Each structure stands twice: as C-alpha cells, then as structure tokens.
Structure 1
C-alpha cells in the first residue's frame, strides 16, 4: 500500500512539475517573442509541444514566430493546427490569410454549390471538442427544462419549458449530426503543408517516375494514400501525384 501511495504521489508530483515547466516555457517564449528573438521563442514553443501539450494559442504563437523568421511553410502549418483547435478564432484566420497570400502557388478550388459551402461552414463552426462541449451544454439545458416541466406545477412555466425543451432538443439533434460529420471529416481526411521551398510531384511513388508538376512552400494539400515513405497527394483543383514524406508535414 505504501508503495502504491508513493508511486501515485510521485506521478502526481511529476505532472505538477511538468505543468509548471510548460507554463514557464510558454511565458519565456512569449517574452522572447516580444523582444523580437523569434528563433529562440520558436525553440521554446517546440519544447512545449515535446511535452505533449497542445493549444490553439501555442500553435498560433509558433506560427507567428516562423512567419517572422521567413519560414512560410512551418508558419502555415502551425496556423492550420491552431485553426483546427479553434476554427472561429479571428486572429488565426487573419494571420493564416496573410501567410497564404505569400505562397507562390495560387490553386483554384474546384467550385461547390452554395448550399454545400454553407453546410460545410456549419460543420466546421467548431472543432470536434468544441461540438462536444456544445452538446454537453445543450444536454444540461434539456435537463433543466425537463426538471422545470415536471417539478413546477404551473401551466405557464410548463408551457414555456415544453416549448424551450423542444427547440433545444432540435438544436441538440442537429448539433449531434454536425459533431458526427466533423468527427468523420477529421478522421477520414488528412491534410498537410509543403515545408520545402519547391518540390517535384511524381506520377508514381518512385524517384525515377515521371514528374507530374511542381509546387512550392506553404501550399496545403490533401493526403489520399501512403506507400512506404511516399504520400499520394491531391491539390484543391483535383491534381494528384506523389511526394516523399520529408517534403511535407501533416497538419
């Protein structure tokens, strides 16, 4: 029993120490960034990631550091990771747009019908965790309205609780659908960013295969398949080809 208690205590202590060190690294990184020491700041932010800690703020700060260093690919990579955790954050969206404007390749996205774009924007309104928290919130509201309906013996209150509960239930079901679609989207589709200045996309997963086309640093691509250390990639305009794993970073 003493051994178990000691082990749990040491585990708890290590977690506390790690959290404290992560907080110190983040603060020191922010201080270095304010002093325009972007290289040193990025190293501290990367150390935080090595601890297994992730947040939209961390990726956003790291993206800013790489942008200042002129590393466009890594800047966009981290902005995209930040956006994945906080899809509605205006600062992330703004800085990502600025970084994307500096990329060489201007790929025309395949056109989609208006209602499809509108529906996708609703699905991407929150991250997976964001939709989950929203569902928890709606569930609490449903329980409160149900309690008001069954406990309070007043017609006006019961009528209000019934109408409110019906609306909340409808929103809950719709949000559950969006949560499922966002979860499927994140698990089904993998995106990446080109991190080298220029890469030659191959027609097949072989160095000796024909060159398909050339793309440049910062371009966001979709991963369709993997063979050994080669990825089958798809551009927004539908072009496909193969790239080595060293030429891209997964978002």
Structure 2
C-alpha cells in the first residue's frame, strides 16, 4: 500500500516539474521574441509555484533589465548569485545593472556636532568600546553599592 502511494506521489511530482519546465521554455521563447513583460509574468508564475533556481532568477533579472526596471533586476541578479555564487555572467550583469543606478549626488560635508561625535566614536573600534562600557557598568555598580551601604550620605 505504501509503495503504491509513493509511486502515485512521484508521478504527480514529476508532472509538476515537467509543467514548470514547459512554462520556463515558454517564458524563454517570449523573452527571445522581445515580449519581456509577458516573460516576466511567466517567470513569476513559476516562482509562485515554489520552484527556485539561479537560471530562473537570472532570466527574470534580464527581462527586467530589458524593460529598464533596474531595481528589480538587481534584486533578481542578487538572488541568482546567492544560488550560484561562482557564475561570472551573473556577477557581470549585476555590475552593469548597479552602474545604471549611480546618481550624481554630491556628498554633503560633515560639520559641527556630527563631525565631533564621529571623531570620538572612531577613536576606538567596537571591541574596545564594549570593554569600556562593561568597565563603566562595573564602576557604576561599585559606586552605587558604596553609596547604598555607607552610614552617612
């Protein structure tokens, strides 16, 4: 009985995978025809079915890039890069997309109080500041206990 149920589930799962493969091929055909918005919809429907692969995210990013949707294309390139971190094409396309987002915004100079705070904070690294904070807590507790248990205030 268990074998029959197992075989039944395997057959339906293979049917689901082949259906997603067919939709992926259809989306690629739409992309090649220049119908990028329809290809994006098909790729997203594959994602909605729970299938995730670097090729799917890569193609989805390319379609968004072709429509000049730079932010979604960067997002999908990064998702593809998480699934396949050694792929040089994904890295190259991601760098192209990131170069499209660079704006000509000048950096505002730091003045006044924020400059002083940043200089003080940057004098030590995070580990040193943590040790200083722990030491300060111990000194505070020691002084509080001395005050609390003193006979005269």
TM-score, scaled to structure 1:
0.39
Partners of 1:52 and 1:80 in 2: CA distance: 18
Larger Rg: 2
What does residue 39 of structure 1 align with? 37
Partners of 1:103 and 1:42 in 2: CA distance: 21
How far does the alpha carbon of each residue in 1:30-79 deviate from its partner, in whole angstroms, 9 at most, with x for none?
11100000011111111221222221111110000111122111100000
Aligned match for 1:68, one of 57, 66, 84:
66
What does residue 94 of structure 2 align with? 96
What does residue 112 of structure 2 align with? none
How far does the alpha carbon of each residue in 1:164-220 deviate from its partner, in whole angstroms, 9 at most, with x for none?
xxxxxxxxxxxxxxxxxxxxxxxxxxxxxxxxxxxxxxxxxxxxxxxxxxxxxxxxx
Higher strand share: 1
Map of 1:1-251 to 2, 5 A cutoff? Answer: 1=1, 4-105=2-103
* Corresponding pairs, count: 105
Higher helix share: 2
Partners of 2:93 and 2:65 in 1: CA distance: 9
Where does structure 1 lack aligned partners over 5 or more consecutive residues? 108-251
What does residue 110 of structure 2 align with? none
Partners of 2:88 and 2:77 in 1: CA distance: 12
TM-fit CA distance, 1:16? 0.6
Q: For residues 42 and 61 of structure 1, do their structure 2 counterparts lie closer, same or farther at Cα, with a shift above 3 Å needed?
A: same
TM-fit CA distance, 1:96? 0.6
Partners of 2:57 and 2:4 in 1: CA distance: 36
Q: For residues 5 and 102 of structure 1, do their structure 2 counterparts lie closer, same or farther at Cα, with a shift above 3 Å needed?
A: same
Partners of 2:104 and 2:17 in 1: CA distance: 42
Higher RCO (Cα < 8 Å, 6 or more apart): 1
